[in-house]
């Protein structure tokens, strides 16, 4: 076959990038053509995404890709984070900027929802663990706090679907991102009529759910003319970035778990069906959609956010550090003498992350880290130990032990974190690809073109296209002792 040229737009909580991919039938090569920041805006009591800026940057990305790429681009696709939505009115106009999942407006909303839909019943019906940032709670907050906007809305679209709508004029909801909502039926994978009815959500708000790997529509003529590209096809990839990343796992063993490490760390497995038992609920596991009718059984835990916020604070104080410099500092200390629970509420939206870490250690009667090196080492070891705790909880839901860990995403660049994760979990860690999300995005586009037939073929292309690094566990006894200390801290 001749080379298939595709554009992936990968939008994350702190930035986005556009990457061109060329697929020759066996291997995928990628080149970055544009990168931009994604900064939420605090406005009054609201915490919002700047959607107008994001859409402008998406158009810039497509235009630059058109200039960069010699051969014509065959398609483009967008992936983003989950749960957050925007609204359009009956004239197809945007109704305000979408709320950020960290917006405090949902703080007491779950308890209100449980009056109509008890927590246990909601979990059984949808398979989604009821985190307060889930779309179901955001939508209820909009209904109760922004009644005028809610009445004007003709449609609700997740972030990738909202961008796709303004690019193409077509309304559709991609399955993997919809599966983060807390409103899909666990059996059918479609909108749960019972959930919508009990909360008085009008069905007209909800677009048809479409599967990943399908063509949505071409760019609208006015968009193509504005950015001077032909009306290229927009494909529905696995639009939830985590689903795209998991699609690109270079699997060789059946008994594996994955850690997708970005701003959030997502620890999970792929399974043939949902696990929504009382035990999985007690352990806070959620079920989200994947390719080939698979389910990702997972837990969201805090990831590189902790290091990102420390780095941001130190830069504000006039001491900027690269991530490599932070890793080097952590290596100057052989062991941390304090640990944190990365999921503690102290770390959700702190004004000063290093001080929040110190405060946690003070409150838990541990030595208080003072230097940057001590803080970074504390964070990295704590992340590794949290991974072990989550993997052990996951194994309680499975008939067999997990044998190997696949680590994906930006955290793979932190070689210290990869090695400490292998040490803490006591299992080999296969690291990479770093660009798993983009690879998944592009190769699902290739599925839409009929060049890849299924998930197994997709993963073979991933194996052909990059070389992973494997980290073997070390210092088993030492890390066993560390974990016992950590468990007491986490169970306090």
CB burial of residue 491 (10 Å; 0-12, 13-18, 19+): exposed
Predicted confidence (pLDDT) per residue in 21-57, tens digit: 999 999 999 999 999 999 999 999 999 999 999 999 9
* DSSP category for residue 255: S
Name which CATH class applies to 4-239.
alpha beta
Backbone angles phi, psi at 251, to 5 degrees: -70, 135
Return the pLDDT at 1: 62
Give me the count of residues in the chain.
492
d(CA 190, CA 173): 11
Strand partners, 3: none
Residues 6 or more apart whose Cβ sits within 8 Å of residue 8: 18, 19, 20, 21, 76, 77, 79, 237, 438, 441, 442, 445
DSSP string, 14-66: SEEEEEEEEE-SS-EEEEEEEEEE---EEETTEEE--HHHHHHHHHHHHHHHH
Q: What angle do CA 341, 360, 367 make, to 5 degrees?
A: 105
Q: What is the pLDDT of residues 150-181, one digit of tens each?
A: 999 999 999 999 999 999 999 999 999 999 99
**pLDDT of 253:** 74
Q: Tell which CATH classification among 3.30.420.40, 2.60.120.330, 3.30.1330.60, 3.30.450.40 matches the domain 241-432+468-492.
A: 3.30.420.40
Distance CA 229, CA 232 (A): 8
For 238-258, what is the mean pLDDT? 94
Model pLDDT, residue 491 = 80
Give residue 184's pLDDT band: very low, low, confident or very high (50, 70, 90).
Answer: very high
Instruction: Answer whether 302's CB lies under 8 Å from 382's CB.
Output: no
Residue 304 vs residues 13, 236, 310, 393, 425: alpha-carbon distances, Å: 12, 28, 10, 21, 18
When pLDDT is averaged across residues 413-429 and rounded to a whole number, the result is 98
The encoded tokens of residue 313 equal 């604070």
Stated as kind and residue range, the H or E segment containing 471 is strand 469-471
**How many helices (DSSP H) and strands (DSSP E) are in the chain?**
19, 19
Report DSSP letters for 266-299, one per residue. Answer: EEEEEESS----HHHHHTT-EEEE-GGG-EEEEE
CB 83 within 8 A of CB 141: no
Q: What pLDDT score does 71 carry?
A: 66
Catalytic residue among 79, 241, 292, 344: 241
Q: Do domains 4-239 and 241-432+468-492 have the same CATH topology?
A: yes
Mean pLDDT of 85-95: 98
The pLDDT of residue 259? 98
330-385 confidence digits (pLDDT tens): 999 999 999 999 999 899 888 999 999 999 999 999 999 999 999 999 999 999 99
**Domain limits, the chain:** 4-239, 241-432+468-492
Distance CA 53, CA 72 (A): 26
Count CB atoms within 10 A of the CB of residue 108.
11
Span 128-139, mean pLDDT? 98
Higher-pLDDT residue of 189 and 489 is 189
Q: Give yes or no for residue 429 having a pLDDT over 70.
A: yes
Give the distance from CA 79 to its chain's centroid.
Answer: 9
Active site residue 241: yes
Whether residue 14 has pLDDT greater than 90: no
Interval 94-108: pLDDT, tens: 999 999 999 999 999
User: How far is residue 127's CA from residue 285's CA, in Å, rounded to a whole number?
Assistant: 9
Q: What is the mean pLDDT of the chain?
A: 96
Report how far apart the first and last C-alpha atoms of the chain are (Å, whole number): 59
């Amino acid at each position: 076959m001749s080379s298939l040229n595709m554009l992936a737009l990968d939008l994350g909580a702190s930035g986005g990038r556009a990457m061109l991919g060329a697929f020759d039938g066996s291997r995928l090569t990628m080149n970055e053509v544009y990168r931009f920041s994604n900064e939420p805006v605090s406005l009054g009591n609201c915490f919002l995404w700047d959607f107008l800026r994001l859409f402008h940057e998406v158009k810039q990305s497509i235009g630059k890709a058109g200039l960069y790429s010699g051969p014509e681009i065959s398609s483009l696709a967008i992936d983003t984070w989950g749960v957050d939505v925007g609204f359009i009115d009956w004239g197809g106009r945007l109704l305000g900027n979408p709320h950020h999942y960290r917006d405090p407006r949902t703080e007491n909303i779950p308890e209100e929802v449980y009056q109509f839909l008890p927590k246990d019943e909601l979990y059984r019906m949808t398979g989604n663990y009821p985190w307060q940032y889930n779309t179901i709670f955001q939508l209820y907050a909009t209904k109760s706090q922004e009644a005028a906007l809610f009445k004007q809305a003709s449609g609700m679209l997740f972030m990738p679907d909202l961008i796709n709508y303004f690019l193409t004029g077509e309304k559709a909801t991609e399955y993997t991102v919809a599966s983060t909502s807390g409103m899909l039926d666990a059996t059918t994978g479609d909108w749960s009529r019972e959930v919508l009815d009990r909360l008085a959500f009008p069905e007209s708000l909800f677009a048809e759910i479409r599967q990943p790997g399908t063509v949505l529509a071409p760019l609208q003529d006015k968009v193509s003319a504005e950015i001077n590209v032909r009306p290229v096809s927009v494909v529905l990839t696995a639009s939830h970035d985590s689903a795209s990343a998991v699609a690109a796992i270079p699997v060789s063993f059946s008994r594996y778990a994955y850690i997708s490490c970005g701003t959030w760390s997502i620890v999970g497995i792929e399974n043939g069906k949902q696990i929504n038992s009382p035990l999985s609920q007690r352990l806070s596991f959620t079920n989200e959609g994947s390719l080939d009718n698979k389910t990702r059984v997972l837990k969201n835990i805090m990831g590189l956010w902790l290091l990102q916020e420390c780095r941001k604070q130190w830069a504000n104080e006039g001491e900027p550090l690269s991530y490599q410099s932070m890793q080097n500092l952590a290596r100057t200390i052989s062991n941390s003498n304090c640990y944190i629970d990365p999921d503690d509420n102290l770390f959700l939206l702190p004004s000063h992350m290093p001080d929040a870490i110190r405060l946690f250690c003070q409150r838990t009667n541990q030595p208080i880290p003072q230097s940057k090196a001590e803080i970074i080492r504390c964070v990295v070891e704590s992340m590794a130990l949290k991974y072990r705790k989550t993997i052990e909880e996951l194994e309680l839901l499975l008939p067999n032990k997990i044998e190997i860990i696949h680590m994906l995403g930006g955290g793979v660049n932190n070689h210290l974190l990869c090695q400490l994760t292998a040490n803490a979990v006591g299992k080999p860690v296969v690291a990479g690809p770093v660009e798993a999300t983009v690879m998944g995005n592009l190769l699902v586009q290739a599925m839409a073109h009929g060049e890849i037939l299924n998930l197994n073929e997709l993963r073979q292309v991933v194996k052909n296209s990059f070389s992973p690094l494997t980290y073997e566990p070390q210092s088993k006894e030492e890390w066993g002792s560390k974990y016992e200390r950590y468990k007491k801290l986490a169970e306090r």
